[in-house]
């Protein structure tokens, strides 16, 4: 079975400082991993996805994540936080169906990012 | 064309009543998913439709919940005899086969 664990429910950073949101995964197969962002009263938006092509994945708005199989981690980073980055971030793994195809998404509990001026 | 749309955006109902939530997926997307986002449980998968295959209902929390997808497009999630613990935001997503899932804005359900 697949699962993800987000290690921090809330992260607070100052504008202009680096962002690190931590995620560990568990999967019996080579996983497909994602980060989604949800701004207040807005829908879920895909930030980036890992599908085994490259371990360092670049996403939108300057975010990137590195897949580390030895550590079963997929942490999200950004060099310099912006006020507009304040949102909730979800680490997500895709369920693997019988036959190997991808199915529904399995979400972590979320990390709320606050950005102080 | 447009993204995934859901209606209504907000629904307030009384305990014990039935509700229907609608999802219009992106045109051409063969896969459609329902999820629920609640304070206590986070984001949970409910049900998955793929083309003409039998839906994956493994995430439905009880037999009060059902969903159908007519003509491979619009989907309706029905909750019978609503309970207060059903209060949540119900999210719909669609995708091409094994592709990125695009989410709708959700329906906020409040059961009084």
How, if at all, do strands A111-116 and A10-14 pair? parallel
What whole-number distance in Å separates Cα of residue A116 and Cα of residue B107?
31
Q: What is the pLDDT of residues B75-98, one digit of tens each?
A: 999 999 999 999 999 999 999 876
- Is A43 touching B (CB cutoff 8 A)? yes
Residue B78's pLDDT is what?
Answer: 98
Name every chain B residue with its beta carbon within 8 A of the beta carbon of A95.
Answer: 45
How close, in Å, is residue B57 to chain A by CA atoms?
11
B97, B101, B106: residue with CB nearest A105: B101
Residue A27's pLDDT is what?
Answer: 83
Residue B67's pLDDT is what?
Answer: 96
- Is B101 touching A (CB cutoff 8 A)? yes
Q: Select from B80, B86, B107 the least CA-distant residue to B24.
A: B107
A103, A107, A108: residue with CB nearest B56: A103
Q: Per the CB < 8 Å rule, is A42 touching B105?
A: yes
Name every chain B residue with its beta carbon within 8 A of the beta carbon of A103.
Answer: 48, 56
How, if at all, do strands B5-7 and A102-107 pair? unpaired
Name every chain B residue with its beta carbon within 8 A of the beta carbon of A45.
Answer: 103
φ/ψ of B87, rounded to 5, equals: -60, 125
Taking residue A31's Cβ as centre, other Cβ atoms within 10 Å add up to 24
Question: Which runs of consecutive H residues, i.e. helices, occur in chain B?
Answer: none
Residues of chain A with pLDDT > 90, as a percent, come to 73
Would you say B84 and B70 are in contact if contact means Cβ atoms under 8 Å apart? no
Q: How confident is the model at residue B1 (pLDDT cuts 50, 70, 90)?
A: low
- Is A40 touching B (CB cutoff 8 A)? no
Beta-bridge mates of residue A20: A77
Q: Select from A7, A43, A14 the least CA-distant residue to A114.
A: A14
Q: What is the pLDDT of residues A39-94, one digit of tens each?
A: 987 889 999 999 877 889 999 999 999 999 999 999 999 999 999 999 999 999 98
User: 3-class SS at A62?
Assistant: helix
Given the structure tokens 């507009």, which residue do they identify? A84
What whole-number distance in Å separates Cα of residue A63 and Cα of residue A79?
8
Given the structure tokens 């993800």, which residue do they identify? A4
């Amino acid at each position: 079975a697949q699962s993800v664990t987000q290690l921090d429910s809330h992260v607070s950073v100052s504008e202009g400082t680096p962002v690190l949101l931590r995620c560990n995964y568990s999967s019996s197969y080579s996983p497909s991993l994602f980060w989604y962002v949800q701004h207040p009263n807005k829908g879920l938006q895909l930030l980036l996805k890992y599908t085994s092509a490259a371990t360092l994945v670049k996403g939108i708005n300057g975010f990137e994540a590195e897949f580390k199989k030895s550590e079963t981690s997929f942490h999200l980073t950004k060099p310099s936080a912006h006020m507009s980055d304040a949102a909730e971030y979800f680490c997500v793994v895709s369920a693997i169906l019988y036959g190997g195809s991808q199915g529904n998404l399995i979400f972590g509990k979320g990390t709320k990012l606050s950005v102080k001026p | 064309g447009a993204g995934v749309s859901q209606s209504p955006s907000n629904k307030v109902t009384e305990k014990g009543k039935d509700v229907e939530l609608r999802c219009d997926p992106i045109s051409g997307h063969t896969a459609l998913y329902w999820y629920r986002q609640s304070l206590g449980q986070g984001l949970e998968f409910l049900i998955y439709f793929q083309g003409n295959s039998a839906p994956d209902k493994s995430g439905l929390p009880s037999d009060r919940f059902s969903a159908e997808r007519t003509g491979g497009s619009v989907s309706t999630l029905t909750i019978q005899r609503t309970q207060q613990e059903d209060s949540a935001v119900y999210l719909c997503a669609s995708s091409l086969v094994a592709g990125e899932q695009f989410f709708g804005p959700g329906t906020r359900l409040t059961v009084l």
